[in-house]
Amino acid sequence: MSQSPAFRSPAVTRRTVLSLIGLGAAALTGCTSGGAAAPTVTGAPTGEPRRGGTVRLAFAGAGAAESLDPTVGTSPCDLARYSVLFDTLFSFADGAAEPSLATAAEVDSEAKTCTLTLRQGVTWHDGTAFTAADVVHTLKYRASPDRIAPSELSAYLDLAAAEARDDHTVVVPTVQPVGDPATLLAGAGLYVIKRGTSSFSAETATGTGPYRVTAFKAGVETRLERHDDYWDGAGHAEKVVLLSVDDAQARVNAVKDDQADYASDISFTTAKAGPPGTGLQIRDAGEALRTTYGFVLNVTRDLPADPRVRRAIKLGIDRKALVDAVFLGYGAPANDLFGAGAEYYLDDVAVPERDVAAAKKLLKEAGATGKPFVVRTAEYETGLNSSAELFVEQLKGLGLDASLVKVSTTEGYEPAGMKACDAISFPLGPVSLALTYTRSAAYETLAFPDEELTGAVATAISTTSDSERAAAWAKAQRVMADRGNWVAWGRGDVLSLAKETLTGVENRESPKYPWLGKVGFTA
């Protein structure tokens, strides 16, 4: 299928940007240098979990803003909670969409109608049957303008026009041609809610997930009990407690002091010191799930708009120095592309070799030498601010009059502030390329308005041919690596602290909020 000339990206709010980057609440721990990194264990133990017991897990939260409404929260604690309380139509596994409550999503020959085939034999926590009426209610609920953040799926699917063909089939018209609806649905955070649901409390938040909520206190904890009739097999732990702990060191201390069994998203400095007690281990999520750190150049401003300036920055920065200073041995240089680990990601794009002389020459040719260049940063990930400081010093060494603006995480993606800066620090995990490219394109200060790029993304979204889709994503990525506005300099491990016997922590969409449906202890 040829690209859709009517292709348009979804509207992006600050909330959707935070959702895109995973909102790793900042662990404000300074970076150090020297000494080897302590070894880590990749993944969780593979031994057979015993049935029963209570597992306590600490995640970065959002305080009083946390909610049981799956259309509201964006913190890792919120998202970990939603993923075991509710199910999505599709989920991610190894970077690709996998069936969940839907077993298939098929489009017609022109990709103008999407037909969802739903899983049979699924029950809600109250024992009632899951049907197409629940999915129709969910889609209409997410399409409502009353939502804090209406689903970006509305840019692709006419959610309000969804209809149940029978108890296990839903038909949804498309707004623009969509060739791979399963991937769009998997990446949209579309948790299915029961028909008739309009409020969410510990009493009313009924899901189809592996655990049901019994108690909830925003910013403190969520208590969950096993749903024994879960369609994908009952979980191992009888109870799961999610602790909302915003400070990374406090999460580590909770495990150290036996207040928790698992601490998500710990700092590189903490990991380097090694496990803080016996029976504990530092875990990494694996190279495919690393977070990419970088800067997005704002091409609405004069200097970043010049391709010579963008090329100079890509050639001139010292990626190894950034990696060494920030990741402390838990990462590697990157090749200016976000989306590593996702399906269709180009692994053959090399990391640019540093060439300071060529960079300085390009800046001089562009008339950029000595010109002001403002970098904006917020500590959404440990080390973003430190990396921005070093980035500014490196830009000064190339001849730019670079300066740094540090803001709080509540201000980081405020549109007016971003507009006034030339570069914005940006972290991104292995989300789908569809999300990576369409959401960034919808934000003026993050977008790269290039005709070849726009056409390639349009084709990748609209085509029903997998080979055409792969070729289109390859073209889009080569454009960004060659002349785009991303300066992705490194990829860092996502680290956690866990008891050695804890297993069943499954990384799906992001290791910052893993799926906990089969969590338990091996002994």
pLDDT for the residue numbered 144: 86
CB 494 within 8 A of CB 284: yes
Cα 196 vs. chain centroid, distance in angstroms? 30
Residue 7 in this model has a pLDDT that exceeds 60: no
Q: In what order do the strands lie in the sheet with 102-107?
A: 102-107, 113-118, 169-173, 163-166
pLDDT for the residue numbered 501: 94
506 DSSP β-pair partners: 515
Mean pLDDT confidence for 1-22:
50
Domains of the chain, CATH where assigned: 14-31+53-85+209-285+494-513 (3.40.190.10), 87-203 (3.90.76.10), 288-492 (3.10.105.10)
Give the separation between CA 89 and CA 130, rounded to whole angstroms.
12
Q: Taking all residues of the chain, what is their mean pLDDT, rounded to a whole number?
A: 91
CB 246: neighbour CB atoms within 10 A? 18
Question: Mapping DSSP to helix (H, G, I), strand (E, B) and coil, where does residue 337 land?
Answer: coil
pLDDT for the residue numbered 283: 95
What confidence tens digit (pLDDT) does each residue in 464-511 have?
Answer: 999 999 999 999 999 999 999 999 999 999 999 999 999 999 988 889
Residue 3 in this model has a pLDDT that exceeds 50: no
Q: Is 523 exposed, middle or buried (0-12, 13-18, 19+ CB in 10 A)?
A: exposed
pLDDT for the residue numbered 21: 56
- CA dihedral sign of residues 165, 169, 171, 172: positive
> Out of 35-39, 169-173, 335-339, 403-407, which region has the weakest mean confidence (pLDDT)?
35-39
- β-strands 262-263, 54-59 pairing: parallel
Share of the chain above pLDDT 70, in %: 92
pLDDT for the residue numbered 118: 98
pLDDT for the residue numbered 146: 81
Q: What is the largest CA-CA distance in the chain?
A: 70
More confident residue, 118 or 379: 118
CB 508 within 8 A of CB 80: no
pLDDT for the residue numbered 2: 36
Give the separation between CA 123 and CA 138, rounded to whole angstroms.
16
Of 20, 76, 26, 45, the closest CA to residue 506 belongs to: 45
Give the separation between CA 225 and CA 2, rounded to whole angstroms.
49
pLDDT winner (highest mean) among 141-155, 306-320, 403-417? 306-320
What confidence tens digit (pLDDT) does each residue in 414-432 have?
Answer: 889 999 999 999 999 888 8
Q: Which residues of 206-219 are buried (b: 16+ CB within 10 A; e: fewer)?
A: bbbbbbbbeebebe
pLDDT for the residue numbered 28: 37
Mean pLDDT confidence for 73-82:
93
pLDDT for the residue numbered 150: 65
pLDDT for the residue numbered 27: 39
CB < 8 Å & 24+ apart, contacts of 174-177: 174/107, 174/111, 174/112, 174/113, 174/114, 176/4, 176/6, 176/7, 176/8, 176/461, 176/462, 177/1, 177/4, 177/107, 177/110, 177/111, 177/112, 177/461, 177/462
pLDDT for the residue numbered 310: 98
Contacts of residue 485, defined as CB under 8 A and 6 or more positions apart, other chains included, come to 296, 297, 298, 299, 304, 310, 448
- pTM exceeds 0.95: no
pLDDT for the residue numbered 34: 58
CB 434: neighbour CB atoms within 10 A? 25
pLDDT for the residue numbered 147: 77
Residue 309 in this model has a pLDDT that exceeds 80: yes
Residue 23 in this model has a pLDDT that exceeds 50: no
* 349 DSSP assignment: P
CB 67: neighbour CB atoms within 10 A? 20
Cα 194 vs. chain centroid, distance in angstroms? 26
pLDDT for the residue numbered 109: 85
171 DSSP β-pair partners: 115, 163
What confidence tens digit (pLDDT) does each residue in 360-384 have?
Answer: 999 999 999 999 999 999 988 889 9
- β-strands 96-99, 291-297 pairing: unpaired
Question: Mapping DSSP to helix (H, G, I), strand (E, B) and coil, where does residue 64 land?
Answer: helix
pLDDT for the residue numbered 334: 97
What confidence tens digit (pLDDT) does each residue in 215-246 have?
Answer: 999 999 999 999 999 999 999 999 999 999 98
Of 392, 385, 394, 293, the closest CA to residue 334 belongs to: 293
Write the CA distances from 394 to 322, 391, 403, 476, integer angstroms: 10, 5, 11, 28
What confidence tens digit (pLDDT) does each residue in 292-306 have?
Answer: 999 999 999 999 999
